[in-house]
Amino acid sequence: MEKQNYKVEKRNIPLIPLRGLSIFPYMVVHFDVGRDKSINALEEAMVNDSLIFLTAQKEADIDVPSTDDFYHVGTVCKIKQLLKLPGDNIRVLVEGINRAKVTEIIMEEPYFEVAIEELIYNEEIIKDKKIEALMRMVIDSFEDYIGIGNRVSAEALVNVSKIEEPGRLADVIASYMFLTLENKQKILEAFHPYKRLETLQVILGEEIEILKLEEKISQRVKKQINKVQKEYYLREQLKAIQYELGEDDELLEEVDNYREKIENIKMPEEVKEKALKEVDRLLKLSPSSAETGVIRTYLDWIVELPWDKETKDRVDIKKSREILDADHYGLDDVKERILEYLAVRKLAKGIKGPILCLVGPPGVGKTSIAKSIAKSLNRKFVRMSLGGVRDEAEIRGHRRTYVGAIPGRIVSSIKKVSSKNPVFLFDEIDKLNSDFRGDPASALLEVLDPEQNNTFTDHFLEAPFDLSKVMFITTANTTASIPGPLLDRMEVIRISGYTEEEKLQIAIRYLLPKQMKEHGLKEENVHISENTIRDIINNYTRESGVRNLERNIANLCRKAAKKIVEDSVNTVRINSGNLNKYLGIPRYRHEKAQEENQVGIATGLAWTTVGGETLSIEVTPMPGTGKLQLTGQLGDVMKESAMAGISYIRSKAAELKIDENFYKEKDIHIHVPEGAIPKDGPSAGITIATAVISALSNIPVNRNVAMTGEITLRGRVLPIGGVKEKVLAANRAGITKVLLPMDNKKDLEEIPDKVRRKMEFVFVKTMDEVLSHALVKEDDNNEN
């Protein structure tokens, strides 16, 4: 008998698991699709008959569901409309047709495809008095549900009352109700109309009981609120009576205190007006109001900011120079710029504070020189690290609408030092980030613009604060990651790093005394010679700054302290002979000049982030077919320089007395030792060309000559960067003669006098000049 009441339809169909959503037959609903599998299933459905099988996920937080993560009973739906949304999402409008159950998972990639069975009941045949009675009970219960909950409109009851089919009645009522996913699934899994109505009636009964409890609780809460309002009204009346009797002196005293402070502070009129308005609001509000605390916090910030407080600058240039020189060795460009500012400050008192950007590698003293600048100017010092800052509110503060809102760190720091003209250091400005919370770099544009920062507005204060007297100093390792508009507002001063001599003086004057003091040692306890410090600089550190040098000196002091305590000695002497006992074997080595003139080996100069280095470029020609092989982990630019050099040599082969067919008959291998270290840049061009010419002509290269410069196809020598570091590397390696591009002659001023006196500098324009100084003539070779 049961078989005559329904028919079974089988089909293969794409499936989409839905998160937090169940769809019933006869239900029209839209939802958004964003997962790749779901989009693929939609596309497959649209290609065929626009039918899709929708079922609910058991856990909504699973992003990539498996076949066990969704229910196997769902609804076959007809896709009515698709709408593409921003972010590759798709909004889908569907209409439920029939419930069905999964009998087999056909495939899981690139979308779920399943075999399903639809059980379609002939509701006219199975409808009898029993079902008719159950339908009336369900409609009555639904009416109670609507009357108690007020969640569903009365029109819904009119709509469902007209439905004749029992199964459809259950589905439509279920679609109107606010049910848990589990209850919805129970109704969906009831295929027989009578079973479905029965399940719905049980759920309706449970929901009505819950709604009655909710209504009871709501009435109790409402009664409590009415009581609170009544108490508030009586409290306000009591307050008015107390005011008339003069008994509310505490609040009046607080308000008068705020008024007096605001009137006495020399702040802009618009700020004063706004602050006084907030004081008036405080008087009108109830003491128990949440906003009272917000207003008090705001007024506290207003009256505690240094609107009219500033330190008096020390304009004694001589004294300021002494302070800067006592704290730092070198860094002449930075010192001169500060002294220039002081000189102008003495002549023109209304000058705005400069905005300096100190750019250089780690450990060269960018942060510490900022502290010395504050000390030399007799100003307060504020430091704010910007590394990793990604929230604009860090700069501008939070608006007062947010709970726990506070001003930004700029205003907070100025309040902390109680001065409107401190030296303000923005550390690591090249490491700012941005995300959905805003762009701090853009917020800094106003702060670091002398034309705008006199009216800097923090979101919390909502009033302009004058930052024009603040001396802003920023530090960065590179300008490459600083946005252009922000970089344009700053005066960039580059600190390239210290020479060996400068590091020696810094160690003797600052680092060694500092570490001895920190480790409780006196001068007579530890003796470290100059040569020992030079060995530490050259063999145990490789850096532009002095951080690792200080760590090694601290290491020596620790070991000396241990020896003094353990062995009961008064003095520990550390020299080049016993340095290995304290610091271990040397960690680094620097290239030295070749011991003799050799064919096919030329000495080049390179710049690195930790200073200059010498490069020994080796070339070996071999019988072959004209192949060019480059090894040593060379970058693209360096490889192109080698190719340009080969092309130049081919064009000048006759003049250079080289076999004109060398590019056909010989393979050339160019190698730069220390192959584990990447190398790149155009400055090795003339060195590579010289080494190739030497190898092909069998003429040695002078071992005492080092060179750097970019080569063109016509043999011109173009300028390069990092001259100071490269020359210092050549001096360290024992090189006596350096070939530099003519256009780099101006850079010679940066090289210390002591180094310039020890070396010979030749400025060249063409490769012919390079070869005349680099290749050894026969007479010179015989002398060597």
Q: Which residues are catalytic?
A: 683, 726
Which residue carries 């989009």 as its tokens? Answer: 39
Cα separation, 378 vs 373, in Å, equals 8
Percentage helix, strand, coil for the chain under 3-state DSSP, each rounded to 5: 45, 20, 30
Angle between helix 290-304 and 249-264 (nearest 10): 30
List alpha helices for 568-706, DSSP H. 579-583, 636-651, 662-665, 685-697
Which phi and psi angles does 257 have, rounded to 5°? Answer: -65, -45
Q: Which of 543, 528, 548 is nearest to 477 (CA)?
A: 543
Cα separation, 52 vs 48, in Å, equals 10
Cα separation, 141 vs 150, in Å, equals 14
Tell me how crowded residue 489 is: count the other CB atoms within 10 A of its CB: 20
Please give the structure tokens belonging to residue 612: 């200059």
Cα separation, 359 vs 334, in Å, equals 11
The per-residue b/e assignment along 229-243, b for 16 or more CB within 10 angstroms, e otherwise, is eeeeeeeeeeeeeee
Q: What is the dihedral of CA 405, 406, 410, 416, to 10 degrees?
A: -170
Cα separation, 99 vs 638, in Å, equals 69
Q: Please tell me whether residue 22 adopts helix, strand or coil conformation.
A: coil
Cα separation, 500 vs 506, in Å, equals 10
Q: Please tell me whether residue 738 adopts helix, strand or coil conformation.
A: strand
SS (H, E, C) 123-156: HHHHCCHHHHHHHHHHHHHHHHHHHHHCCCCHHH
Classify the phi-psi angles of 683: left when phi > 0, otherwise alpha if psi is within -120 to 50, otherwise beta.
Answer: alpha
Tell me how crowded residue 367 is: count the other CB atoms within 10 A of its CB: 15
Sheet holding 423-427, edge to edge: 381-385, 423-427, 471-476, 355-359, 491-494
Angle between helix 530-539 and 547-567 (nearest 10): 130
